[in-house]
Amino acid sequence: MGSGKRSLTSMAMALACACACAVLAAPGVAYASPTPTPTRTPTATPTPVSNKDLEAVRKKLDKLYHAAAVATDAYNAAEEKAQKQSAEIVDLAREIVKGQAKLDKLKDRAGAAARAQYRGGGLPPEARLWLSDDPQEFLDGAGRVRQGEHATKGLLAEMTRTQQDLEQYAKDASAQWKKLEANRKTKAEAKKKIKERIAAAEKLESQLEKEEKERLAKLEEEAAYQAQTAWLSSGVLAEINSKASEQGKKAVKYATDQIGKPYEWGAEGPGSYDCSGLTSQAWASAGHGIPRTSQEQWKQLTRVDIKDMRPGDLIIYFDDASHVGMYIGDGAIVHAPRPGRTVTITGAGSMPILGVVRPDA
């Protein structure tokens, strides 16, 4: 047994030695050091974005946000039309109900008149005169019959007019429903465009580092400052000396009280605003309603020369009237700029001016 144990021990030792030799001889196995020191790969330093590239980004953002503003105006216009059409449909429905009730009453009266005529009209007039004990009473009764016939004709004519009115109301309601549906589609398309443009702008900005975003903000401020300086250097401010109306003062106060609140497309307050939402609500607070969108404000409100501008007037921007701000005096406006910004004061000439309109002309 002892020699057997020694044999097993020797075999085990030999096997272990063979395995160790095989492992050491295996290709690719590092055995010089159990914990090798890793080699470091130098990290590449990111290339800073040049001012030229940032300026290109700024212009691209301007285009995207401008497109979003145009789509927002389309959305707001469709919303305003939809509200009016809904109200008109409700009014038409009320008229239809009233007309139907009137028609039912007229039918009842016409039926009663027809029954009365039938009961009294069984004999010809000559026979009734011959059988009458009092010819004068007969003649009086004949006169009442003629009056009744005239009244019945008038009743039938009124029934016809009421029926025609009901048919017209129904046609008008159907037309308004079609317009309402079309405006709903317009709203949906505009909403899709708004979200697409804003998402593209936000994606573009998200690709910038913090330092690059700060530089981009400075470029935006610089571009606005240069535009405002050029506008003021024309001497326009020296010509503007009109005072605000009482309603204008109220509108300016309302608008400036909203400073710091966020821009939100389609919003009319009180927590957030888009550009025309701010101006329309400011003038509504002053007791003077104006159109909801900047484009309709430009179309419908009275236009005035820049030199005649006074606080409370609205300055419309860009060739497509896609932005609006309220003049507050001293060459400045208060406005809701764009997504990601808040209601603020800026130079009236910091954007391309289309013209000026006065709500309370």
Query: 186, 185, 195, 209: which is closest to 57 by C-alpha?
Result: 209
Complete DSSP assignment for 315-329: EEETTTT-EEEEEEE
Exposure b/e, 112-122, CB count within 10 A at least 16 = b: ebeeeeeeeee
Q: Does residue 270 have a cis bond before it (omega within 30 degrees)?
A: yes
Cα–Cα distance measured from residue 335 to residue 333, given in angstroms and rounded to the nearest whole number: 6
Burial label, 328 (beta-carbon count in 10 A; 0-12, 13-18, 19+) = buried
Catalytic residue of the set 17, 150, 275, 288: 275
Catalytic residue of the set 21, 66, 150, 335: 335
Secondary structure tally for the chain: helices H, strands E: 9, 6
DSSP 292: S
Give yes or no: 66 in active site: no
Give yes or no: 275 in active site: yes
Give yes or no: 288 in active site: no
Contacts for 230-238: CB closer than 8 Å, 24+ residues apart: 230/349, 231/331, 231/347, 231/348, 231/349, 231/350, 231/353, 232/331, 232/347, 232/349, 236/306, 236/307, 236/331, 236/349, 237/330, 237/331
Instruction: Provide the β-strand partners of residue 262.
Output: 342
Catalytic residue positions, numbered: 275, 323, 335
